[in-house]
Structure 1
Amino acid sequence: MGGAVSFVNSAEKSMRQAPSEERRRHERFPVTVSARVVYAAMPYRTEILDVSTGGMLLAPIDALTISARESINIESPVFGRIEAIVVSQSETGIHIAADLSPMEFQDAIERLFLLSRTWMLK
């Protein structure tokens, strides 16, 4: 899995912003991963657009009306099932707070790395 670690390290370097520009506690990494949001027993298809150990950004879901501080479940083949809280919505998407442990985050990044390598070899 050393390749995944170097992938994470290079992603960290390429995504690093000047301290004055970065207001988040956890660095975010761009991804495009299919996901399903479950809210009020209704499933909605979306994509995870970026991720960090503290949260993620989901693509907007037109059919979903939800407020900040609402609990949702996110299901993804890469990240598994995540219980999360809506922080806010914008035209960019749905901003989510979720506690991914460093190990869960690392495991998911390694799965993404392996998937992207497989796609590049085809």
Structure 2
Amino acid sequence: MRWVLPRMLGGGYTRPLAAGPYLLRAPRFPSPHAPWDLSPAHLHLNLLPAARGSGLGRRLLEAHLHALEAAGVPGVQLSTTRENTAALILYRKCGFEEVAARLTPLWTPWMGRPVEHLALAHRL
């Protein structure tokens, strides 16, 4: 956080407030989680639309998993929605399993309805 604000004020982000609505809603509608003792690491992977389908997501995910495993981390978790089918296919191919789900209104402003928010975990 110590470098985000100076970068934002200095014009380092093209759309600095784009995540604002999500960040304001997320604490009101927490996502489901895997047990923290089994999966203490949390992964967030986001690619620009132009990079999707290129294999970059898989390479980033595998590099992250290898680094966590080398560091002795027992497992990693992430969350997404049931509608994010491309990501779910990738995560499952890389060994992630669904461990929790919750219908949430978090995504209503963007999806037009409540959606199922999933937690997936991968033991390393």
TM-score computed with the length of structure 2 as normaliser: 0.28
**Structure with bigger RCO (C-alpha 8 Å, 6+ apart):** 2
TM-score computed with the length of structure 1 as normaliser: 0.28
The structure having more radius of gyration, on CA atoms, is: 2
Higher strand share: 1
